[in-house]
Amino acid sequence: MKRIVIAFSVLIAVLAALVLMPSILPDGQEVKPAPVLEVSPQNRPAGMVWIEGGLFTMGSDERYAAPDEKPAHLVKVEGFWMDAHEVTVAAFDSFVRATNYRTEAEQVRLASDLKKSWPKGLPFIDSIRQPGSFVAQIKTGNVEWKWITGANWRQPLGPGSASDPLEPVRHISWNDAIAYCAWQGTRLPTEAEWEFAAIAGRNINDLPWVRASNSIADSLQAVLNSTTPNGVKRVKQYLPNPWKLYDMAGNVQEWCADWYSANYYKINYDVLALNNPLGPAEPSAGLQPERVVKGGDYTCAGPKYLAARPSARASLPPDFTASTTGFRTVMSAPMWDAKKALADK
């Protein structure tokens, strides 16, 4: 009987230790569970979805992954609010009306600055004296880039064209997106947050991108069926991912907060469970400074669908604008609490 009591006591002690002790990774780093935020529909940012934080594998070691996606590594992100879809023309119009903001595509830019971000294969025009932007159109299965004077978020294909209020806003630079965020009280997602939200808790092998099938999930059809002259479609035209996020692939590329470095993963791969990584502290030395963009766009049809995978990485200069560039925003829980407190005053 005494042995039974002792064994039972030991079992209780072990169970208590397992419950109460923190989770310790082999290198001694503690990984705490992400906080759970319980909210009612009336107490959430309009148009945003709560993304519960957690651990995930960022990047990819698959055979089709690009070198800058490797090595895959463990990352932890805290919970955050994220726009359910890309910022629309209507939402951006509200910002412009309130602030009289002019996007970079609406301003005259120096030819020397434009040359740094000029698309490869497109003859450079050094006589540009008017505002404009780059427009990508799909013709006979190929992507054709043009510099078009007068192209901007209001006229996405140039003079005579018009934006649909429910389309994702385009011709937006990273600098333009930051200005919108400052007005809105939000921020751009980090690359880690964006990728975590796009994967949506699934095994990488379960994602439709791996098989390039005609899946209707995750806006894959926005890539495979991007045949309209305008390219983009209204937001929320396709099924969302499991976390109720729309257009995380196709439609437009989305700016992230991070500077881009092709070697960033290689430098940090030996750090087990990076905690809320913010990307490089500064752009790569000696190269054109660029920010990360994720999600691919309407030009990623056919074999180029790989560019729209969650782990795929792309980068553009912060002042680059095109018919393929847009964004969505996020807020941390403290940011939302602060915004509510200011609204109550």
Q: Would you list the domain boundaries of the chain?
A: 30-344
C-beta of residue 55 within 8 angstroms of C-beta of residue 273: yes
Contacts of 123 (CB under 8 A, 6+ apart): none
- What pLDDT is recorded for position 286? 65
Q: Please report, for residues 51, 164, 251, 260, the alpha-carbon distance to residue 315 in angstroms, rounded to integers and kept in the order given.
A: 24, 27, 17, 6
**Architecture (CATH level 2) of domain 30-344:** Alpha-Beta Complex (3.90)
- What pLDDT is recorded for position 23? 30
Residue with the two structure tokens 């660029």: 290
Residue with the two structure tokens 């509510």: 340
- What pLDDT is recorded for position 160? 93
Query: Exposed (0-12), middle (13-18) or buried (19+): which is 38, by Cβ within 10 Å?
Result: exposed
- What pLDDT is recorded for position 49? 95
User: With b meaning 16 or more CB within 10 Å and e meaning fewer, what string describes 131-154?
Assistant: bbbbbbbbeeeebebbbbebbbbb
**pTM strictly above 0.85:** no
Q: Give the single-character DSSP code of 190.
A: P
Average pLDDT, consecutive stretches of 10 residues, N- to C-terminus, the chain (345 residues) = 44 36 30 41 82 93 89 93 97 96 92 78 78 85 86 95 95 97 96 95 67 49 57 86 89 95 81 78 78 90 72 93 96 88 76
CA dihedral 156, 162, 164, 168 (to 10 degrees): 10
